[in-house]
Amino acid sequence: MQWLDAIIQGILLGGMYAQYALGMALMFGVMRIVNIAHGDVMILLSLIAVSLAGVLPVGNIGLIVVIVPIAVAIGWALQTFILNRVVGADPLPSLIATFGLSIALQNLMLEIWSADTRSLPNSGIASESFQIGSIYVGLLPVIVLVCAFVLTGGLDAVMRYTRFGRGLRAAAADTEAAAMTGVDPKRIYATATAIAVGILGLAAVFAALRATVSPSDGSAQLIYAFEAVIIGGMGSIWGAFLGSMVLGIAQAIGLRIDPGLGILFGHLVFLLVLATRPEGIMARKK
């Protein structure tokens, strides 16, 4: 029974990771932009949410309504003013630019919020749970998982069936040829990054509700997001969701074996996938 419990808790944890990973699936998996500041941007959004919650009595849903547009604006600005200038066939310039941004953001956050851990006030939803058989399931993690599932399905459908999705896939496949076919690559990339960071806005509020955040936490979120996208397979949105589940379950099982093994187990499974199926679980067939 305790293993079933571990798997269920792992799936719920995977729901949180999926919210981190979806934006990464879009930027890294599809557009091939390595955004080292991915986690730091999320932490920044969490800290903004925590500060806003102190002055705006809007409740958690209201906070999401405020934070997501801020996140969309940050994403659009990030792509328009920084990444569109360095993006190209060579992934190194964008990696270096976002690495610098990551360091700058961490120091900015330390300056504004100090190194203390913070979280959103416990509003009841974070501590509510229900019982299935002998297993307790938290309400908030279930909401997070459902949101992640809906977002994944939505984003996958957008990529497959909309004009924006086709244009983005075309630009990612061959930027110049996409321009020759009428796609404005810079504009479509700015929209895509706005969506990617917008999803992070939602994840940021949930992360601050679920646990604490501090300015230096970004790199862990970055690693989880990277691992989920690579386990799932580059370019596949559902792959990122599945990769997040694998990562969450591996961590929960590791945690059950020994409380110190959780994170390590996640990394080991990631290495195992890299060694045996480097293209990822759901990689597009070549």
Partner 1 sequence: MTGTPILSTHALTGGYGDFQALFGIDMELHEGEVISLIGANGAGKSTYLKSIFGLLPVQPEMVRYDGQAVGGTPAHRMVRRGIAMVPEGRRLFVGMTVEENMLVAIDNARLPEAEGHWTRERLFELFPILREKRRQPIEDLSGGQQQMVAISRALLCQPRVLLCDEISLGLAPKVIREIYAILPEITAAGTSIVLVEQDVSLAREASNRLYCMLEGRITLTGASSDISRDAIAAAYFGASDAVA
3-11, 15-23, 66-74, 160-168 -> range binding partner 1 (CB under 8 A): 160-168
Q: Is 183 in the site for partner 1 (CB under 8 A)?
A: yes
Q: Is 173 in the site for partner 1 (CB under 8 A)?
A: yes
65-73, 107-115, 159-167, 246-254 -> range binding partner 1 (CB under 8 A): 159-167
Q: Which of residues 3-32 bind partner 1 (CB under 8 A)?
A: none
122-130, 161-169, 220-228, 269-277 -> range binding partner 1 (CB under 8 A): 161-169
> Least distance in Å: CB of 172 to partner 1?
8
> Least distance in Å: CB of 174 to partner 1?
5
Q: Is 85 in the site for partner 1 (CB under 8 A)?
A: no
CB nearer partner 1, residue 177 or residue 211: 177
> Least distance in Å: CB of 44 to partner 1?
33
Choosing from 170, 194, 199, 246, the residue that interacts with partner 1 (CB under 8 A) is 170
> Least distance in Å: CB of 165 to partner 1?
10
Q: Is 90 in the site for partner 1 (CB under 8 A)?
A: no
Q: Is 181 in the site for partner 1 (CB under 8 A)?
A: yes
DSSP the chain: -HHHHHHHHHHHHHHHHHHHHHHHIIIIIIS----TTHHHHHHHHHHHHHHHHHH---HHHHHHHHHHHHHHHHHHHIIIIIIHHH-SS-SHHHHHHHHHHHHHHHHHHHHHH-S--B-----STTT-EEEETTEEEEHHHHHHHHHHHHHHHHHHHHHHHSHHHHHHHHHHH-HHHHHHTT--HHHHHHHHHHHHHHHHHHHHHHHHHHS-B-GGGHHHHHHHHHHHHHHH-TT-HHHHHHHHHHHHHHHHHHHHH-TTTHHHHHHHHHHHHHHH-TT-TTPPP-
